Amino acid sequence: MGISHYIKEIGRGKDGARALSRTQATDLMGQILDQQVSDLELGAFCIAMRIKGETPEEMAGFLDATHARLNKVSSGQAPTVVLPSYNGARKLPVLTPLLALLMAREGVAVVVHGTATEDKRVSSQAVLTELGIVASGHSPQVKAGEVVFLPTGELNAGLERLLAVRRVVGLRNPGHSLVKLMKPCDGPALVVGSYTHPEYLQSMSATFALTGQHALLLRGTEGEPVADARRTPAMDVFKDGQTRRVQDQKEGSLVQVPELPTTDAAATAIYTEHVLQGLLPVPESIALQVQHILHEVKA
């Protein structure tokens, strides 16, 4: 069928573009994930959506198509948490692996998924590899007390192709929000979503509420789903279309700023091990995040 008729609707500029229905968005994203569109059509879609912006109904449709096509992780009956890790470290160390391992030692099954979208950043995968946790293959299983890392391409090759457009055009596209909203598990799980700019707080909140997903949303560290070790952000929980503020933002600076490593993967891995061994304290904001997550998945 093609997606040219959808591009005509969304590609009329910021003021002239029309929003797609949830059903239309599902069909459009389904064709993209099934890799039934040309490179030219894919690029046109990404640019058009970048200019127009996504509505919650469109993102819900994109999620519907994605969830129907993912090679999902089997988590059984274990309390499960999903950590989308796509931004990596630029100025601060990527502590998503620390968050994952802190939850795993509390008996939670943790699924980290991601792919490198920028070559200059240090990824969670690099840190996890230093810690001896290698990427899982097709349709893995995760058990209570375990962390698995799944490359996006193993979840869906078309989704990885969509994310890769950024390397060519230099701009984000709906795929970068999609991966932070999706649940790649075959059973119940808490998705920990993060945003960098206030407009994404509004759009992600609306999408989580519309789709009824169980999620915790916060302003993460450089876009990663882990609280900034230097300050405590606000955290909201979404479940069955309802929203609850579980953590208020703490104003001001910390009395004592935690000693953090460089962004280097090896240094971050050593720091992570020292925190897990009790040689260094868990940063307060991350400790609070762990408490809120455990309350949700073990309730």
Sign of CA dihedral 153, 222, 206, 100: positive
Dump pLDDT digits (tens) for 211-234: 999 999 999 999 999 999 999 999
Q: Count CB neighbours of 284 within 10 A.
A: 17
Dump pLDDT digits (tens) for 171-223: 889 999 999 999 999 999 999 999 988 888 999 999 999 999 999 999 999 99
Q: At residue 120, does pLDDT exceed 60?
A: yes
Nearest to 69 by CA among 113, 31, 41: 31
Residue 191 CB-density burial (10 A; 0-12 exposed, 13-18 middle, 19+ buried): buried
- Residue whose token pair is 């995968």: 125
pLDDT at 84: 97
Determine the Cα–Cα distance for residues 282 and 106; give it in Å rounded to an integer: 14
pLDDT at 279: 96
Determine the Cα–Cα distance for residues 10 and 237; give it in Å rounded to an integer: 31
Vertex 105 angle, CA 77 and 205, to 5°: 65
User: In the chain, where are the structural domains located?
Assistant: 4-67, 80-297
Are 4-67 and 80-297 in the same CATH fold? no
Q: At residue 299, does pLDDT exceed 90?
A: no
pLDDT band at 1 (very low <50, low <70, confident <90, very high): low
pLDDT band at 121 (very low <50, low <70, confident <90, very high): confident
Q: Does domain 80-297 have CATH number 3.40.1030.10?
A: yes
Mean pLDDT along residues 105-109 = 97
Q: What is the CA radius of gyration of the chain?
A: 19
Q: Percent of the chain, pLDDT > 90? A: 79
Tell me phi and psi for residue 200, to 5 degrees.
Answer: -80, -25
pLDDT band at 254 (very low <50, low <70, confident <90, very high): low
For residue 178, give the 3-state DSSP assignment: helix
Sheet holding 109-114, edge to edge: 147-151, 109-114, 80-84, 190-195, 215-219, 235-239, 242-247
Tokens of 51: 């200019």
Alpha helix stretches (DSSP H) within the chain? 4-10, 13-16, 22-33, 39-52, 56-67, 96-104, 124-130, 152-155, 157-169, 174-178, 198-211, 265-276, 284-297
- CATH class of the 4-67 domain in this structure: mainly alpha
The mean pLDDT of the chain is 93
- Residue whose token pair is 């239309």: 24
Q: How many angstroms separate the Cα of 288 from the Cα of each of 99, 172, 180, 243, 260?
A: 11, 30, 21, 19, 18
pLDDT at 252: 66
Q: At residue 14, does pLDDT exceed 80?
A: no
Strand 190-195 versus strand 80-84 pairing type: parallel
Give the predicted TM-score (pTM) of the model: 0.94
Mean pLDDT along residues 63-88 = 94
Name beta bridge partners: 235. 218, 247
Dump pLDDT digits (tens) for 129-143: 999 999 887 768 899
Mean pLDDT along residues 99-116 = 95
